[in-house]
Amino acid sequence: MHILFYNAKAYDKEFFTQANQHFQHDIRFVDAKLNIDTVDLINDEKAICLFVNECADREVMKRLSQVGVQLIALRCAGFNNVDIKAAHEFGITVVRVPAYSPYAVAEHTLGLMLSLNRKIHRAYNRVRDGNFALDGLLGFDFHGRTAGIIGTGRIGALVAKLLRGMGMKVVAYDPQHHPDSDALGIHYVSLADLFAQSDVISLHCPLTPDTHHMIGKQALQSMKQGAMLINTSRGALLDTQAVIHSLKSKHLGYLGLDVYEQESELFFEDFSCDIIQDDIFERLLTFPNVLITSHQGFFTKEALQNIADTTLNNIKQFEKLSIAQQPIELSNMVTVNA
């Protein structure tokens, strides 16, 4: 099938070109992100491939259907950037990669927690600067502390397992309990109890209208003084202004982010020679107890191989069904009720 890859980075080209030796699709890469102005980059491609921060809203969806696009293949798990209802209305199928390496994100989450606690990011700079003093680098033992996991799906359950391995007590909140919660040592509590009990809180639920800004002023106030908050899920789970307020008042003790509400303006690009205009993001960077990475939780070799294989296979399955003029029913399809 002819596929246009939007927002393609060098690593996308490398992993997809390699995986495509098996699938033999006709693929073309462009640097541009998808938006209403870049729809015109499509030639005869019936499938386009997108990543997390591209805008596939109703207006774009309409234009895509006008130029003959039948399939949007997301090379990621989340689909909050795609108007699924509009896709359905305009006859465009959407597929995604629901799981590629939950280990990648879980391990990155643990990395943020450990770095923040033991201030490894600060120590790295100090030692390079010939400063071997320990003042300001004091951490705490994770062993014996309580971690609160919000969302115990694939990634959240793995984070719980890793934290249990360090001797932490794990409490969790999820409307759907994990089938192996007893074996994993996960104890479900209400959200209010999770906030009240946890020394470290980690977010692993999807961004939906229900979870938008779930960590706002009230949630932050009900957390323990000095708690650590980690978000490797989606930026808008946090009300960033409220988080800044809590950091300024020294209530929130640590913040680790791999995602940010307005990340589509910044992440995955090099702005090191520019003046960054996002004052909220810049304020976050001024706190010594904040550590931010730019949505790299997924970024391991294993995950990229898996993403490329699954995406190209999703497209192959779609192609087979459409050639056979059969109803499009695919296991990795995103439906309106998802």
Enumerate the active-site residues. 234, 263, 295
* Candidate list 204, 306, 309, 315; residue touching ligand NAD; CB under 6 A: 204
Report d(CA 43, CA 33) in Å as an integer: 16
Helix and strand numbers (H, E) in the chain are: 12, 12
Q: Decide whether 41 or 99 has the Cβ nearer to ligand NAD.
A: 99
Q: Decide whether 119 or 154 has the Cβ nearer to ligand NAD.
A: 154
Least spacing, CB of residue 99 vs ligand NAD, in Å: 6
User: Could you tell me which stretch among 67-75, 87-95, 170-178, 272-280 binds ligand NAD (CB under 6 A)?
Assistant: 170-178
Least spacing, CB of residue 59 vs ligand NAD, in Å: 24
Report d(CA 228, CA 250) in Å as an integer: 11
| Residue least distant from ligand NAD (Cβ) | 153
Query: Residue 234, interface with ligand NAD (CB under 6 A)?
Result: yes
Report d(CA 259, CA 230) in Å as an integer: 10
Q: Residues 65-79, buried b or exposed e (16+ Cβ, 10 A)? A: beeebbbbbbbbbbb
* Candidate list 41, 78, 164, 330; residue touching ligand NAD; CB under 6 A: 78
Cβ atoms of 81 and 290 within 8 Å: the answer is no
* Candidate list 171, 267, 297, 319; residue touching ligand NAD; CB under 6 A: 297
Phi-psi sector, 136: left (phi>0), alpha (psi -120 to 50), beta: left
Least spacing, CB of residue 76 vs ligand NAD, in Å: 7
Cβ atoms of 101 and 306 within 8 Å: the answer is yes
Q: State which of positions 128-167 bind ligand NAD (CB under 6 A).
A: 150-156
Q: How many CB atoms lie within 10 A of CB 62?
A: 16
Q: Decide whether 135 or 210 has the Cβ nearer to ligand NAD.
A: 210
Which residues form the interface with ligand NAD (CB under 6 A)? 77-78, 99, 102, 105, 150-156, 173-176, 204-206, 210-211, 232-234, 258-259, 295, 297-298
